Structure 1
């Protein structure tokens, strides 16, 4: 299988030369991308497919077609190599989806040679194998059987209807501690599903061994998996990350598609949504143990109310709302695009629509401090945090800030903590601009 690597918004020329993608592969990948949930009605959304090039849009991940695959990596200027971008993307997915995977043992060679899908499948296999070493989850199930000796309780109705003339058999109802439960059925379905998509021979071998371990578990179609019957508690909480990975592979994120005469697959993520979720979870982590309460995609207030019908219109969902004692003190909205230098653009690349959005938040939530948060532009940008601040009327300030994504989660949490520390100075504004009753 031929593998191609592309970064967000970059173009891959179509042709037969070096550094180009052959036309049949371009067509197959475009067809697979068109069947993704990220594709618009016109077929775009993931890839722009022209006569001379294939261009990635604001979606990252893996698209596989007949005999080929395309890996789309995020555009983070501070990270130059594909392996570094792949490692950062996996880290962001880990935090955003609460996967709880440990990739500390992954070598530089593996980050360079394996695709995003390879890395995630290998992580799933290692995590699942480690969990199974501690024992496969089991639960009591009520069974019924006709036995020569009494076991459990007697099903009186069944006994006197079916075995009225043959008392040598007893209709028994009993509980048995069995592994064929919802959690194990989901894990087996995930292993079987991934066995069709793994490229690495070593990972394929790991998947075959896992299939053997789940031989006694029922085969359940992906569409009928009993997600709602899974119960996690203190005795089996080590399976939480595995369940999140299984959802990643089996639900909307990972799609098997039909591409002409062959099969395709897509494991794709909207980078703007991923950045928002990643920053939101790290902000919550940075504020843990403080008097600040962090709400993600909360608020949900409406901009307009119809005077005639009372119907509310245009609901808002700020990315991050920070409260102190129930009072909104700060709203952060993430933007997955580059901030401009002041010398190039005094508006710093902020769109008019973004400003109007923040003005609406200031009015609806009475927030004295609002921040548009961007990824740090490049490795040479020495300063993260607030780049500029603007008055938005008498009681609100709009900040333009950035966060450096080439650093560890701990360092990014420190950046966000420093950004949020401005709450102390804005508390007096929050009190002067009280929440509406």
Structure 2
């Protein structure tokens, strides 16, 4: 049965204290204890523990603790507009392909949900609806049963053990062709989980309908290894997105083993990784249309050090344009607002190495910010202290009102920097 859900919205790096009221909801002791238990001895990257509270880190998304959903939003400017940053976060996740779904009716999906978690649930349900409409894939499986009909092969040891009295029966092993298989067991388990933890009344009728129509499956113990072994073919390719969402939900669900009421479901994203990917796809999108002769690659690597024994070490810049050809450009993205200060020496040293190993004509550090600007700087000569030809730019990309304008602005600013000497 669905229970009433509550929503608290905070920004990254914000502290949430015991009994603090946010958005008309009080953060009570039971929820704090659940997060403390979730944090455990080893900790989690999403938040740190402070005195009678938690402090969120550079991870955004949702933490559902029992009937309380804590939505953690990014913040790259001075704006405190939660609605805007909620929309921007959803837009960034969609832009990088996290919300790219198979169902042909995806354009009709309503995004006006209470939290990103609701959106995940809605996407998963729509994927299941699509799979049921298309027809679930059947597979062959081996089954054993004590049957009155002789089909398959008799298992003599079990047959003698079970049927000394009931001689009209046969313990047989045979092949069955049906919808009872691992892919469906994963999806059904996810449906049951969503039915148990969903707090959005608008989704409940669809969840109930899908549970009635989806064939009941055998219980499956879900681990990371199960998902790693899944392979897709022509018939099952349409399952990929639903299974991806199921993996995210099932592996990040942490039940409360003591009381069972304040489970924790964590769907969080590292903003440094999300920002890197968002800049990459925004730049790639513009280059395809305006500069198709440019090549662009993300997370390309080069070896730069080798010990006498053991493995070599790599350098991995975030974005490389025209790799291994004259005019190579390297960009490294950082999710932080400099607020007028210089980049860290570590970041500047990193870009110097890219100059050397990629023979780049230009390198830059790319940050979000309140204003749009570019600052050029040159590396100094080791002996004389004079400026060298090696230049490193610092580019700040201001946040726009909507995701489309922001992506367009990112491309325009970076393309202008790339083409201007």
Residue 416 in structure 1 maps to residue 379 in structure 2: no
Aligned to 1:433: none
Aligned to 2:384: none
What's the CA shift for 1:292? Answer: 3.7
* Counterpart contact for 1:138–1:180, Cα < 8 Å: yes
Residue 356 in structure 1 maps to residue 349 in structure 2: yes
Distance 1:350 1:255, change over 3 A: farther
What's the CA shift for 1:330? Answer: 1.8
Aligned to 2:394: 400
Residue 366 in structure 1 maps to residue 359 in structure 2: yes
Secondary structure at 2:196's aligned position in 1? coil
Match of 1:301 among 303, 323, 340: 303
RMSD across aligned positions (CA) = 4.2
Residue 337 in structure 1 maps to residue 336 in structure 2: yes
Matches within 5 A, 1:90-239: 90-96=90-96, 98-101=98-101, 102=106, 105-106=109-110, 110-111=112-113, 114-141=114-141, 177-223=177-223, 226-239=226-239
Distance 1:257 1:409, change over 3 A: farther
| Cα separation, 1, equivalents of 2:58 and 2:294 | 33
| Cα separation, 2, equivalents of 1:147 and 1:326 | 70
What's the CA shift for 1:284? Answer: 4.2
Aligned to 1:10: 14
Secondary structure at 1:196's aligned position in 2? helix
- In the superposition, the TM-score normalised over structure 1's length comes to 0.73
Secondary structure at 1:98's aligned position in 2? coil
Aligned to 1:267: 267
What's the CA shift for 1:311? Answer: 4.8
Distance 1:138 1:230, change over 3 A: farther
| Cα separation, 2, equivalents of 1:327 and 1:37 | 47
| Cα separation, 2, equivalents of 1:318 and 1:412 | 21
* Counterpart contact for 2:34–2:262, Cα < 8 Å: no
* Counterpart contact for 1:8–1:73, Cα < 8 Å: yes
| Cα separation, 2, equivalents of 1:389 and 1:248 | 42
What's the CA shift for 1:75? Answer: 1.4
* Counterpart contact for 2:137–2:235, Cα < 8 Å: no
Of 87-96 and 119-128, the range deviating more from structure 2: 87-96
| Cα separation, 2, equivalents of 1:206 and 1:39 | 33
> Which ranges in structure 1 are unaligned for 5 or more consecutive residues?
427-437
Aligned length: 396
Secondary structure at 1:301's aligned position in 2? strand
| Cα separation, 1, equivalents of 2:399 and 2:79 | 9
Distance 1:259 1:291, change over 3 A: farther
Secondary structure at 2:263's aligned position in 1? strand
| Cα separation, 1, equivalents of 2:253 and 2:295 | 33
What's the CA shift for 1:170? Answer: 12
* Counterpart contact for 2:295–2:322, Cα < 8 Å: yes
Secondary structure at 1:336's aligned position in 2? coil
What's the CA shift for 1:410? Answer: 7.5
